[in-house]
Structure formats: structure tokens, C-alpha cells
């Protein structure tokens, strides 16, 4: 249960090891009838998954986070974000800039120091930033599914903390959308505005299709690989790094700093993902091929989602070239996959 029995288990191991109530495999995970629908589900999609090792209890989160540790960590980060929000709300960052002038002398563009949003940038936020809560909610939902289906509570905790990180990102985006709406019109905060872009905007449809398919990847191994090895790394780089760069280029330092903060959570996700793939492949080298097959299936879909949204980066007042956005996302993704042992 705790690995080396010659040592005292750590507090992390004491409150994490074998905390599942459905980890039995003989004859079924739950102490109910083998014919119970939920037992059949787990037998098909967890015990029946190609992603199997003899003992998952040896895996450890590199951060070794307990619930208490996670809450303390994110409490401190939320205090920082609250202060960041207060500072930028007080200086009127979201307020409208008068059309036709800017502190930099360029018509219709805010300078990096102006503390104001020009109309063109607000239009970009309307089509690119405001709808983000929909795809990020899918990432949260799939993280929760991976955690629920995972064969060890050591894995479940990682996935559920990842889902909480997604909720944090969604909440901050939703809050700032309301701030923008107060400055630029209530329609920005209306669900219909974001939903229209998400459901009908051509740039969003490739990612939407990818995420809708990911929601029905029921095999726990494929759900993990599709999410953490393919879709989430691409979306994280697109949002946290590339949108942060776009915000900085357009004088929106608040959103640039917010995206930098989101990047901290993404790095923790990548760390445990690389640790889990390494753990699995060390015990069963043939799993490298299994995981690689899933990456080969899901990464092109993730790339299509990035390619669709890259066009919106190119349409900003101070744009980033779509080709540069796509290339950077792929570069970061390649670097991440190198560390997965696949």
C-alpha cells in the first residue's frame, strides 16, 4: 500500500493510498452485484482498458499534494489574483478608450501603459476570450471523469486537482467578462454572446468538435491520453502563453498577467502527466505504443482546434500571425511529449 514497508509512510501517503471505494478487481470493483450497471461500466472502461499495470499504487504525484496542501497553495495564489484584479479594476483597465486616439499616437489602439481597452481589442475579447469558458469547462469535465475512473487514488487526486484548476481559470474568465461588460455593454456578459461564438463561430468549430468527441472517450486510458497528452497541452499553450502574448501586445497587461498565473497550474498538470506515463511505461514498456497510438489519434484533432482559433489571433488590432501561433503551440507540445517517455 505504501511501497517500502521499512519506512514510515508520509502524511501524503497516509491520506491518499487506497482511498478508493472501488479498487477491487475480483470479481468486480464495487461490492454490489456483478450485473450492476456501474460495475459493468468499470469493468469495460477501466479494468478493460489497454492502459494497465500490475500495481498503480506505486505512482506518486511529483508535487505530493494532499487536499489540505492544494487548498493552502491555491489560497495563496487566489490572494495574489484578488490583489491583481483589485489593482487593475481601480486603474480602469477595462474602461473604454475614446475612439480615434491612443496614448501611443496610433488611432484606435491603446498603448501598453494606457490602462484602457480600445474598441478593436474589445471585439477580439468578445470572439476569443469570452467564449473560453465553454471549452475550459469541457477540460474540467474530462479531468473529473479521468479522476473518477482512475485505478488509484494517487491518480484520482491529481486529476481532481487539475479539474479544480480548470474551475479556477473559468471563474476568473467569467469574472473579468462581467467587468468588461460593465465597461462596454451588458451583451458581453450574456450567455448568448459566448454561446453564439462557441456554437456558430467558424473559428471555434474544430475545437468544439474535438472536445465533444473527447467527452465520449469512455476508456479511462484514452480519456487520460486524449486530455492530458493531446488536447489540454495544446489548449493550455494557446490560452496561457499565446493569448497572454496577444494581450500584452494589445496593451492588456491584466490579462497577460492572468494568463501567466494560469500557466503555473498547467505546469503542475504536465508534471504529473509525465510522471504517470513514465511510471506506466517503466512497468510495461509496450504501453509506450498504446499511449502513442492515442496521441496519434487525438493530437491532430487538437491541432485542428488550434488552427481554427489562430485566425482570431491574426484579427486582433495588434495581431499575432496565425502561423506563428500554430508553430509555437506545436513546439511546446513536442517538448512536453519528449518528457512523457512515449
pLDDT over 90 for what percent of the chain? Answer: 81
The stretch 89-113 carries a mean pLDDT of 54
Same domain, 187 and 42: no
Same domain, 132 and 240: yes
Same domain, 137 and 41: no
pTM of this prediction exceeds 0.75: yes
* 16-75 per-position pLDDT tens digit: 988 888 776 777 888 888 888 999 999 999 999 999 999 999 999 999 999 999 999 999
- Judge whether 11 lies within some domain: no
Three-state DSSP class for 96?
A: strand
Whether the pLDDT of residue 100 is over 50: the answer is no
Range of the domain at 193: 59-338
- Judge whether 146 lies within some domain: yes
Same domain, 145 and 173: yes
Cα angle, residue 217 at apex, residues 216 and 223 outer, rounded to 5°: 135
Whether the pLDDT of residue 103 is over 60: the answer is no
- Judge whether 14 lies within some domain: no
Dist. CA 248–CA 318, nearest whole Å: 10
Using only the alpha carbons of the chain, give its radius of gyration.
22
pLDDT at 27: 79
- Judge whether 6 lies within some domain: no
Whether the pLDDT of residue 278 is over 70: the answer is yes
Whether the pLDDT of residue 96 is over 70: the answer is no
* 226-275 per-position pLDDT tens digit: 999 999 999 999 999 999 999 999 999 999 999 999 999 999 999 999 99
The answer to whether the beta carbons of residues 317 and 121 sit under 8 Å apart is: yes
Same domain, 216 and 297: yes
The answer to whether the beta carbons of residues 57 and 153 sit under 8 Å apart is: no
Dist. CA 57–CA 13, nearest whole Å: 10
pLDDT at 97: 52
Give the least confident one: 93-107, 153-167, 177-191, 315-329: 93-107
Same domain, 28 and 128: no
Mean pLDDT of the chain: 92
- Judge whether 8 lies within some domain: no
CATH number for the domain spanning 308: value is 1.10.620.20
Same domain, 37 and 105: no
Whether the pLDDT of residue 311 is over 90: the answer is yes
Residue 117 φ/ψ, nearest 5 degrees: -100, 125
Same domain, 42 and 111: no
Same domain, 27 and 70: no
- Judge whether 87 lies within some domain: yes
Same domain, 27 and 168: no
Dist. CA 206–CA 238, nearest whole Å: 14
3-state helix, strand, coil in the chain (%, to 5): 70, 0, 30
The stretch 130-157 carries a mean pLDDT of 98
Domain count, the chain: 2
Same domain, 34 and 144: no
pLDDT at 4: 54
Same domain, 133 and 265: yes
- Judge whether 2 lies within some domain: no
- Judge whether 25 lies within some domain: yes
pLDDT at 116: 56
Whether the pLDDT of residue 214 is over 70: the answer is yes
DSSP for 99-134, please give it: TT--TTS-TT---TTS--B-HHHHHHIIIIIGGGHH
Amino acid at each position: 500500500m505504501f511501497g517500502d514497508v521499512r519506512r514510515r509512510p508520509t502524511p501524503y501517503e497516509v491520506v491518499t493510498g487506497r482511498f478508493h471505494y472501488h479498487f477491487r478487481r475480483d470479481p468486480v470493483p464495487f461490492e454490489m452485484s456483478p450485473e450492476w450497471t456501474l460495475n459493468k461500466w468499470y469493468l469495460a472502461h477501466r479494468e478493460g482498458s489497454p492502459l494497465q499495470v500490475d500495481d498503480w499504487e506505486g505512482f506518486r504525484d511529483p508535487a505530493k499534494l494532499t487536499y489540505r496542501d492544494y487548498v493552502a497553495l491555491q489560497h495563496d495564489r487566489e490572494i495574489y489574483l484578488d490583489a491583481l484584479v483589485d489593482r487593475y479594476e481601480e486603474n480602469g483597465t477595462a474602461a473604454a478608450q475614446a475612439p480615434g486616439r491612443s496614448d501611443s499616437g496610433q488611432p484606435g489602439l491603446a498603448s501598453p501603459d494606457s490602462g484602457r481597452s480600445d474598441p478593436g481589442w474589445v471585439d477580439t475579447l468578445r470572439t476569443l476570450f469570452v467564449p473560453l469558458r465553454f471549452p475550459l469547462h469541457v477540460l474540467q469535465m474530462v479531468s473529473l471523469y479521468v479522476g473518477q475512473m482512475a485505478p488509484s487514488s494517487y491518480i484520482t487526486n491529481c486529476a481532481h486537482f487539475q479539474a479544480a484548476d480548470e474551475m479556477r481559470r473559468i471563474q476568473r474568465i467569467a469574472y473579468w467578462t462581467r467587468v468588461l461588460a460593465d465597461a462596454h455593454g451588458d451583451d458581453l456578459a450574456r450567455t448568448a454572446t459566448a454561446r453564439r461564438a462557441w456554437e456558430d463561430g467558424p473559428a471555434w468549430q474544430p475545437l468544439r468538435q474535438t472536445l465533444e468527441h473527447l467527452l465520449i472517450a469512455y476508456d479511462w486510458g484514452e480519456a487520460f491520453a486524449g486530455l492530458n497528452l493531446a488536447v489540454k497541452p495544446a489548449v493550455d499553450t494557446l490560452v496561457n502563453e499565446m493569448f497572454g502574448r496577444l494581450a500584452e501586445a494589445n496593451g492588456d497587461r491584466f490579462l497577460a498577467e492572468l494568463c501567466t498565473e494560469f500557466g503555473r497550474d498547467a505546469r503542475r498538470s504536465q508534471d504529473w502527466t509525465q510522471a504517470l506515463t513514465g511510471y506506466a511505461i517503466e512497468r510495461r514498456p509496450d504501453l509506450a505504443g498504446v499511449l502513442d497510438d492515442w496521441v496519434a489519434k487525438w493530437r491532430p484533432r487538437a491541432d485542428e482546434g488550434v488552427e481554427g482559433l489562430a485566425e482570431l489571433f491574426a484579427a486582433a488590432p495588434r495581431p499575432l500571425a496565425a502561423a506563428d501561433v500554430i508553430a509555437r503551440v506545436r513546439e511546446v507540445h513536442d517538448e512536453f511529449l519528449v518528457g512523457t517517455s512515449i
